[in-house]
Structure 1
Amino acid sequence: MAESRDLRVSASVVLPEGDLEEQFIRASGPGGQNVNKVATAVQLRFRAAACEALSGDVKRRLLRLAGQRATREGEVLIEASRFRSQERNREDARERLAALVREALTPPPPPRKKTRPSRGAVERRLKAKKGRSQVKAMRGRVAD
C-alpha cells in the first residue's frame, strides 16, 4: 500500500500532496564534512492560492500570517534546516506549515464594541484628581 503524502492539518482539513513541493538543499551550520556533501535542508513550497481545501478567507489570513515567507504568486515557502537529517527536517517543515494553517483556520475575534464610562465613574475620577491636586498643592514651602 502506497503511503499518502497529504498533510493533515486538522480533523476536517487535509492539504493535498499536489499542492506541496519539497526541495532539498545544502544546509549551513554544524555537521562537519557531511554538510558539504548531503542536501539535508528542506524547502517546502505550499501553493496556497491554488489549494481547493482552503476557503478564500483562510487563504488570505494564511498569506498575511506567513509574511515574508509568502510569495506574490500566493505560495508559502518554509525552510527547515534545524536538524542534521533530511527526514527530521522534512517533518519539521511539514509541522510548521500545519501550525501556520491551523492558526489561519481560527477566525478573527469580533470587533470591539465601543463603550463609554458611566457618569458616576467620571465623577469619581474627577473627584480623585481634585484630591490629588490639593495634596500636591499643600506640599509647597512653609512660610514663617
Structure 2
Amino acid sequence: MKQKGFRIALYQPDIPGNTGAILRLAACLGVEVDLIEPAGFDLGDRSLKRAGMDYLEMANLHRHDYWEAFDQWRRQEERRLILFSTRGAIPYTAFTFLDGDVLLFGRESAGVPDEVHDAADYRVIIPMRDGARSLNVALAAAMGCGEALRQVR
C-alpha cells in the first residue's frame, strides 16, 4: 500500500516570513503544504520569497479558498486533522502520528476559531514553561513535523 505522507496545513497565515520558512522546511523534508485562505498577505510578498529563498519552487503547495473547502477535501481523503494548539490536551511527543495525518497550525495573531478547533480529530500541545504564551508558528511547525517524521518514517 502506497503511503499518503503527512502534510502541514496553515490556517489563514498572517506573516509572510513564517509561511516562507514553513514552505522551505516542507520543501527540504518532502512534506506537502495546504494553505487555507484568505492569507493576511499577498502570496507574491517579498518577505515570503526571502524566507523561502529558492526553495519555494520545490515546495508542494496546495491552496484552499476557504476552511470548508479544505475540510471537505481532507475528509474525502480520510485524513486525520491534528491541531497544534495552546488549548491542546495531549503533548505532541506523547501523541501517535500516522501516515496521512494533516498537522494544522493556526494564524499567528489568533490561532483558529472554535469551529476549526472543534473539527480537529485531535488537539496537541507543545508544552512550555509557565508564563510563556506561544511559540513562533514556523518553529512549532518544525517541531511537529520533526516528531511526525521521526514516528512515521
TM-score scaled to structure 2, two decimals?
0.26
Larger Rg: 1
Q: Which has the higher contact order (CA 8 A, sep 6+)?
A: 2
